[in-house]
Copies of this chain bind each other. A is one copy, B any other.
């Protein structure tokens, strides 16, 4: 298919998103300029506006697609009926998914302040949907007397904070394999909810 010289719409869009994700994660949204993103991609700043209406939308789209991917990946996981097995699936899935996308996780977590109110509400709704997935597991286990959790909401927040915390210290090729990390964290979570 014939195409004019210098025409790369199918590839430039994703490259802009990738460059923005990397730079936002490394230096923070507010500290990164459109010029820096453009330089990383190898185009001029003005060209970015063919792919995003503004910088804010670029951030929002990164966060939204990350959370939507998170939700659909979790929906695609196998489903155990037993709450203990289900909780193990959640823990291992969460660690695995988050370690694979450190930049996106960092942004979705640190840049909430820089979202305009409407965008913030949309992102928070997606995050809440994910938290609800865990809370449902904990409630189910509590009902069946397999977990001991005096407050499922608190336990949900505690478990997610613990698991997401892996991203703050994990380094590729470090002392521990992912499988070992998953196992250790799963054991801590399991005991913390009294399973």
Contacts and interface: CB of A to CB of B under 8 A. Distances in A.
Contacts of A188: 155, 158, 192-193
B189 A191 contact: no
Interface stretch (A22-30, A41-49, A50-58, A69-77): A22-30
A interface majority secondary structure: helix
Please indicate which of the listed interface residues A26, A162, A188, A193 has the most CB atoms of chain B within 10 Å of its own CB.
A188
B176 A151 contact: yes
Contact of A162 (B158, B184, B187): B158
Interface string A178-195: 000100110111011110
A164 interface: yes
A168 interface: yes
B192 A114 contact: no
A113 interface: yes
A157 interface: yes
Nearest to A156: B169
